Structure 1
């Protein structure tokens, strides 16, 4: 089975990791620097993921000409 989460731009992985840490910090959630975050609750992980998604959508809308307001 193919991994559908393959990044088309390999450098994007670093940018996404940075975004994850920024969002977690803004939400007051401490992430482990070693990459293991099994101590996070499902709620916390969802808050981080949802915030990242919102931010990526905003970036995409801006790059496409200001979004749909």
Structure 2
């Protein structure tokens, strides 16, 4: 297993962290997970947490593809 120093989920641009967090909370809210920013993520299932991240990636890819057109 990879060490924590080589994790790929680091924010490459630290200034983007706030925007990514806001995006995460927006997506979670749209998926019916109210107050996601105040919920202990350890009490949520992997499926619930993963679905938020997966939807974020889908939207980012879709946005990128739209910009290519």
TM-score (norm 2): 0.73
**1:7 and 2:26 correspond:** no
RMSD, aligned α-carbons? 1.8
Q: CA deviation at 1:5?
A: 2.4
Aligned-partner Cα distance in 1 for 2:46–2:7: 23
Structure 1 spans left out of the alignment, 5+ residues: none
Structure 2 spans left out of the alignment, 5+ residues: none
Q: Which residue matches 1:39?
A: 43
The number of aligned residues is 64
From the two aligned structures, give the one with the greater helix fraction.
2
Q: Which residue matches 1:58?
A: 62
User: Which runs of at least 4 in structure 1 moved beyond 3 Å after TM superposition?
Assistant: none
